[in-house]
Amino acid sequence: MFGNINPKQLQGMMKKMGIANSEINAERVIIECADKNIIIENPSVQRISMQGNISYQISGDETEEEKSSFSEEDIKMVMEKTGKSKKEVVEFLEKNEGDIAAAIMELKE
């Protein structure tokens, strides 16, 4: 984009234009969406401040994770009530769209 400009010269030009750039030492970045989480492993994160606005540039290995309609507490409670394994409980909670009572009733049968 800037041809053969020395990185130090580029930083000097950015500073003159009021742009500050710093690297954030992140191990993982999670972007929470309504229906899923986007997870960036081994990220390179740049914080850019320009004229009072802050933005982030993120690159890395992307994976997606579906959000469930139940929590770890729900899973533990159903496990306690039914004596079933976590794997079985999660399967029945997913099958019943997070309905705890329905999952318990089915697992007790």
| Crossing angle of the two packed helices 72-82 and 86-95, in degrees rounded to 10 | 110
Within 10 A of 93 (CB to CB), how many other CB atoms are there?
23
pTM over 0.85: no
Number of domains comprising the chain: 2
Per-residue pLDDT tens over the stretch 10-60? 888 888 888 998 999 999 999 999 888 999 999 999 999 998 899 999 999
**Local confidence band at 9 (pLDDT 50, 70, 90 cut-offs):** confident
Whether 1 is covered by a domain: the verdict is no
CATH code of the domain containing 96 = 1.10.8
Per-residue pLDDT tens over the stretch 57-89? 999 999 998 877 788 899 999 999 999 999 999
> Six-digit token pair at 61?
């290995």
**Local confidence band at 8 (pLDDT 50, 70, 90 cut-offs):** confident
27, 57: one domain: yes
Please check whether residue 77 is in contact with residue 92, taking contact to mean a CB–CB distance below 8 angstroms.
Answer: no
